[in-house]
Amino acid sequence: MGATKKKDGAKSQNAPPKKKQENEFFIAKGAKEDDLSDHSDSSDEEEVLEHEEFDGDEQDFGSGSDICSDVDDPLANDFLQGSDDEEKGSGTDLDLDSDESDIEEKSTIIDLEKAREKEEAEEEMQLNIKDESDEFRLPTKEELEEEAHQPPDLSNLQRRIREINRVLSNFKALRQEGTARKEYIEQLKKDLSSYYGYNDFLIGALVEMFLVVELMELIEAFEKPQPICLRTNTLKTRRRDLADILINRGVNLDPLSKWSKVGLVVYDSQVPIGATPEYMAGFYMLQSASSFLPVMALAPQEKERVIDMAAAPGGKTTYIAALTKNNGIIFANEMKAPRLKSLTANLHRMGVTNTLVCNYDGRELPKVFGNLADRVLLDAPCSGTGQLILAAIDTVDANSKSGGYLVYSICSIMVVENEVVIDYALKKRNVKLVSCGLDFGRPGFIRFREQRFHPSLEKTRCFYPHVHNMDGFFVAKLKKMSNLKPSVETSEPSETVEQEKRKASREQKPARKRT
């Protein structure tokens, strides 16, 4: 009983030291206020005395008690540690005050450093704003002559191109006083030619077609390589099966787009994509995405007679064969004999069996075939002058029950090779433009500079690298109305056509500028 009471007494006396430790803890955290009352100090002294008495009693009690055995040593050490902390209380307070002052000094230094950095950043930003707001001045003749005798300074050219674009985007506010827009445009054309290596004609044509901001997007897109695309040969496989096989070979690919059911786009490959067993077996054709479009617009049907006037190397011809399921007949014409090898090789590799290869000048095909074709594809060579399109129209049978269509396509975005050629064909033959069946792409021009085209040219489609992420392309689909050629002996019909064009133009909304 005595031991039990002693133990209870020890427990009852434990509370003050624990309270003291808690007070000491809050002192270490800086939470204790400096203006504590004298009454609080006297209470703490009493607690210290009680604690010392308790230690004396513990020593008198002896080591024979089970309660104060080695198991309780950690608790005893805590009590002793608390006593030591009390003895060092004054020194600890000084150390804490010193630490707090050091922390405050460091915090002040950090705040000052942040304020200085913020001030420097604001000064730099104001300097940049000032530089940008400064009036840009075109180089003088002397400066241009000096540049001409030195290697091109690409950084200076790039800066000047950027500044001219900025001025032209807000010409009234930013232009140099007494300087016309034409001067800025001329300097921009020279700088673009020097920086990108284009000739003056090409840059001049692009500047006339596009606004400055879009022109820069287009030129930058020209500098980037277009994605590698595959067209699945549906005569031998399905796109899903082909994709699984190529993925297992380490090819990273995806379906091309929603508008194509056979296209795949390749991001990277661990194997040569043009030398896989599947390629050799004719499961797919390496073909740009834009080359899909003319065949899709042509929409050949089974058992039709189709002419591909410029067939090599066979990408479009084999696509036509796949769509017709090797039914009907395809005349694949190629004027250049050396290119016939690649054409015939691809036809054999892709499993095409309904195609006849021929070697004629396209302008002579009407004499060879007459107007026997249900559909004709003319993927014209670039820089064509429109001579082939009349021959292509003459090979189409206007009385075809399922066809009578011609698709004209060209890998060009130039108006002189696109809209001008189609407008010429509309005047020379009994044809009309119909929808291409492509739900994307930009409509063709009906007005360009001083030129005015037939309003139906809005049914043509133009594709641009910076908009559609494919090579520049133009597609038009014509329906032949009669096998008879319009008379050109009198100008009266021509005048009637021009009057109809003007009337239709008035009914149309104001022409859209390509933006």
Q: Is the pLDDT of residue 504 over 80?
A: no
The H or E element that residue 494 is part of is helix 492-507
Q: How many angstroms separate the CA atoms of 276 and 213, rounded?
A: 42
Is 411 marked active-site?
A: yes
Question: For the chain, what is the mean pLDDT?
Answer: 79
* 3-class SS of residue 385: coil
Alpha-carbon distance of 185 to 204, in angstroms, equals 9
Task: For residue range 306-355, list pLDDT tens digits in order.
Answer: 999 999 999 999 999 999 999 999 999 999 999 999 999 999 999 999 99
Count of CA atoms in the C-beta half-sphere (13 A) of 450? 0
Q: Is the model more confident about 132 or about 462?
A: 462
Tokens describing residue 319? 């696509």
Return the H-helix or E-strand segment holding 254.
strand 251-255
| pLDDT attached to residue 98 | 65
CA–CA distance, 379 with 308 (Å, rounded to integer): 8
Token digits for 451?
């030129």
- Non-local CB neighbours of 139 within 8 Å, separated by 6+ positions: 147, 160, 187
Q: Name which of 5-14, 396-405, 435-444, 452-461 the model is least confident about.
A: 5-14
Rounded Cα distance, 151 and 161, in Å: 17
Catalytic residue among 358, 382, 411, 462: 411
The whole-angstrom separation of Cα 473 and Cα 414 is: 9
Is the pLDDT at 252 greater than 80? The verdict is yes
d(CA 429, CA 110): 83
- Please give the pLDDT value at position 28: 44
pLDDT value at position 1?
Answer: 42
Cα distance between residue 408 and residue 123, in whole Å? 60
DSSP letter, residue 442: E
CB 411 within 8 A of CB 270: no
Q: How far apart are CA 385 and CA 57, in angstroms?
A: 118
pLDDT of residue 305: 96
pLDDT confidence band for 495 (50 / 70 / 90): very low
pLDDT tens, 288-318? 999 999 999 999 999 999 999 999 999 999 9
Q: In which band, very low, low, confident or very high, does the pLDDT at 375 lie, cut at 50, 70 and 90?
A: very high
> Hey, how many other C-beta atoms are within 10 angstroms of the C-beta on 282?
19
Q: Residue type at 505?
A: S
Place of tokens 């899909």: 292
- Between 8 and 306, the more confident residue is 306
Highest mean pLDDT among 128-137, 209-218, 271-280: 271-280
In the prediction, which pLDDT does 212 show?
87
**What confidence category does residue 148 fall into, taking pLDDT thresholds of 50, 70 and 90?**
confident
- Is residue 356 exposed (0-12), middle (13-18) or buried (19+ Cβ within 10 Å)? exposed
> Encoding tokens for residue 333?
């014409």
pLDDT at 134: 56
Q: Where is average pLDDT lowest: 403-412, 455-464, 485-494?
A: 485-494
Strand segments (E) across 381-506: 405-410, 431-434, 442-443, 447-448, 451-452, 461-463, 473-480
Sign of CA dihedral 392, 395, 399, 401: negative
Residue type, 514: R
Kindly indicate the confidence band of residue 400, based on its pLDDT and cuts at 50, 70 and 90.
Answer: very high
> What number is the average pLDDT over the span 377-389?
79
Structural tokens at position 358 = 């021929």
Average pLDDT over residues 25-39: 43
Mean pLDDT of 484-501: 50
Distance CA 327, CA 329 (A): 7
**N- to C-terminal Cα distance for the chain?**
102
The tokens of 429 are what? 């033959």
Give the residue ranges of DSSP H helices in 282-398. 292-298, 315-323, 340-349, 365-369, 387-394
CA distance 437 to 323: 15
Q: Does 55 score more than 50 pLDDT? A: no
Measured distance CA(375)–CA(481) in Å, rounded: 13
